[in-house]
Amino acid sequence: MWVDLAITFVKILFVLAITVGFFAPVLTWVERKQSAIMQDRIGANRADILGFTVLGLFHIIADALKMFTKEDFIPQGANKILHTIAPIIAVVPALLTFAVVPFGGQYTLFGKEVNLVISDLDVGLLFVFAIASLATYGYVIAGWSSNNNWSLLGSMRTASQMISYEVTMGLTIVGVLMVYGSMKLTTIGAIQEDFFRWGLFLQPLGFVMFLAASIAENKRIPFDNPEAESEIVAGYFTEYSGLKFGMFFMAEFIEMVTIGAIMTILFFGAWHIPFLPTATLLGWFDFFGTTGSNLIVMFIQVGVFFTKIIFFIWLQMTIRWTLPRFRYDQIMKLGWKILLPLSLANILITGIVILVLN
């Protein structure tokens, strides 16, 4: 019992260290640097320690210091309690979804089977959608409690956009569930050990639609109308500053990692290397013993999983700095008149193919 609790605790610490300790701060630098490279600029390079800039990485520390020391401003007439808890409601669901996301397979370590997932739920995929949708309340409450018309308009845009695209995102996943016959993320990941059973090949249309719907859910360009600076100042977080402002940004970057993780599990072979089964890898390191070989394979596959996540983060950043913002009517049209019918057609075609093959 105590061993199981210790293993679970280590998994939780690892996930928090990777998401909050690494990805969330580093992505603030990546976004600036990648946009600079695409626009033929130098990018963040001013913050230094003893004259060393280290490619601008010290801007991460400068940002953190500024957010911790900046005044926490609450506008007159705002609801102080709701204004304070809204950023927490926004960031917590982004972290909770990782509770069911496997970042590796199952390994035999010191005579014990270790599964690299915090909670291996049978309805893991349903849990992801249920928890992720709760973040909407944080954004809506933030806009309403700020006593600002622009913030309220941004929160209303957030609510309508997330409701619209959650329908499509849920339907695009139905095809994946039909193909793999499970909502358990560890099972879906394990099936994709065979390269030709990757979701990318079995559900190519679902892959494209899920990516589009996920970016819309995260309110990133070209779907950033809830924040549209040129129209409504900064949308729902116009009246936020300091650490609470930083929490909204952290939620957005963690959601990018979450999107990358779910895309990897459902469509990109999870932690598997193409044409290299786990059994083959274990055989290569068999002379290290059962525990030694399993440890090496575990580190390799965890590295592969996060490499794939980094690829999807790069893809989201590239889309963000390539496409212009859609008009709000275009966003609604894309969601209800294009992606929704396509997702229904995808379910129909998938069902027909499965029946024919069976």
* Burial category of 196 from C-beta neighbours within 10 Å (exposed 0-12, middle 13-18, buried 19 and up): exposed
Per-residue model confidence (pLDDT) at position 313: 92
Task: Give the model's confidence band at 304: pLDDT under 50 very low, under 70 low, under 90 confident, else very high.
Answer: very high
Q: Lowest-confidence range among 96-100, 229-233, 292-296? A: 229-233
What is the pTM (predicted TM-score) of this model? 0.89
Tokens representing residue 184 in the block: 């358990």
Core vs surface per residue 311-327: b (16+ CB within 10 A) or e: ebbeebbebbeeeebbe
Whether 96 has a pLDDT exceeding 70, the answer reads yes
The per-residue DSSP string of 102-161 comes to: -SS-EEEETTEEEESSS---TTHHHHHHHHHTTHHHHHHHHHHHTT-HHHHHHHHHHHHH
Comparing CA positions, the residue from 274, 279, 308 lying closest to residue 108 is 279
pLDDT in tens, 123-178: 888 888 888 888 888 888 888 888 888 888 888 888 888 888 888 888 888 889 88
Average pLDDT, the chain: 85
- Distant-in-sequence, close-in-space partners of 269: CB < 8 Å, separation ≥ 6: 192, 193, 195, 198, 200, 308
Average pLDDT over residues 277-286: 85
Instruction: Tell me the average pLDDT across 245-252.
Output: 84
- What is the reported pLDDT for 227? 78
Please state, in angstroms and rounded to a whole number, the distance separating the CA atoms of residues 7 and 114: 8
DSSP letter string over 208-267?
HHHHHHHHHHTT-TTS-TTT-HHHHTTGGGTT--HHHHHHHHHHHHHHHHHHHHHHHHHH
Q: Can you read off the two tokens belonging to residue 246?
A: 């930083």
Question: What region, left, alpha or beta, does residue 184 occupy, with left being phi > 0 and alpha being psi -120 to 50 degrees?
Answer: beta
Asked whether the beta carbons of 350 and 176 are under 8 A apart, the reply is no
* Alpha carbon distances (Å) from 107 to 115, 188, 273, 281: 7, 17, 16, 12
